[in-house]
Amino acid sequence: MANTIHVDVVSAETSIFEGEAEFVALPGEAGELGIYPQHTPLITRIRPGAVRIKQAGTGEEEFVFVAGGILEVQPNRVTVLADTAIRAADLDEAKALYTDVFGMTVAHEETNEEQGVEEAMLGTGDQHVENAQIQLLAPLSEQSTIGKWLAKNGGRGGIQQLAYRVKDIDAVCATLRERGVTLLYDEPKIGTGGSRIQFAHPKSTGGILLELVEPAADAAH
């Protein structure tokens, strides 16, 4: 189709994206490059950052984060040979878990090229400086600190255990079960200091053992 362009984004390991697009934006060496169908042939290096692909037909945008590489443009084809590439869906799926299942809100998002990560900050309730938040990170490069940690961890990611304090553990457990989360116990058990505790199975929480804690009525904190 004359109004679309075929896009291939590949790394040394695998094909990351292949399909028809209406438009592609990439981080060129001198600034952002915008590629439409019938673009003049071009070969150039690209910087670390996001490749934005507006998919044909649906108009939906796909984001692929690359650690640099080579861009080749022909009138009907765009090929990105990336040093390393990661689809944004990895981070999007993690955000969906915490927002759709656990009712958290995204307080802040950004791409930190200096640290080599795409990040999202999430929390509960009204967000203030003193409130605890979760930071989700996706590496832009296997050579970034997070990329190396994931490789060392076998790509599993995650924290071994994370605890949330809740006011009504029975209500929270009921809501999570309704949303498809597997809990380890039929009923909450007694934990530290007389608290009532429950765990969400890692298979339901992206590989993290999640603990729910309802403090005892006479707990000091």
> What is the spatial distance between Cα 26 and Cα 110, in angstroms, rounded to a whole number?
17
Per-residue pLDDT, averaged over 62-84, amounts to 87
Does the structure show a pLDDT above 50 at 130?
A: no
Nearest to 67 by CA among 48, 88, 51: 48
Contact criterion met (CB below 8 Å) for 199 and 188: no
- The per-residue pLDDT for 159 is 61
- Distances in Å between the alpha carbon of 53 and those of 1, 6, 25, 165? 17, 11, 7, 41
- The per-residue pLDDT for 129 is 41
Of the two residues 129 and 127, the one the predictor is more confident about is 127
> What is the spatial distance between Cα 103 and Cα 36, in angstroms, rounded to a whole number?
39
Does the structure show a pLDDT above 60 at 220?
A: no
**139-197 pLDDT, tens per residue?**
887 777 777 777 766 555 666 468 888 999 999 999 999 999 999 999 999 887 788 99
| CB contact burial 42-74 (16+ within 10 A = b; e otherwise) | eeeebbbbbbbbbbbeeeeebbbbbbbbebebe
Does the structure show a pLDDT above 60 at 6?
A: yes
φ/ψ (deg, to 5) at 193: 65, 25
Q: What is the pTM of this model?
A: 0.46
Domains in the chain, CATH or no CATH each: 5-86 (2.60.15.10), 88-157 (3.10.180.10), 159-221 (3.10.180.10)
What confidence category does residue 78 fall into, taking pLDDT thresholds of 50, 70 and 90? very high
SS3 category, 214 = strand
Of the two residues 39 and 150, the one the predictor is more confident about is 39
Most confident of 101-105, 121-125, 168-172, 193-197: 168-172
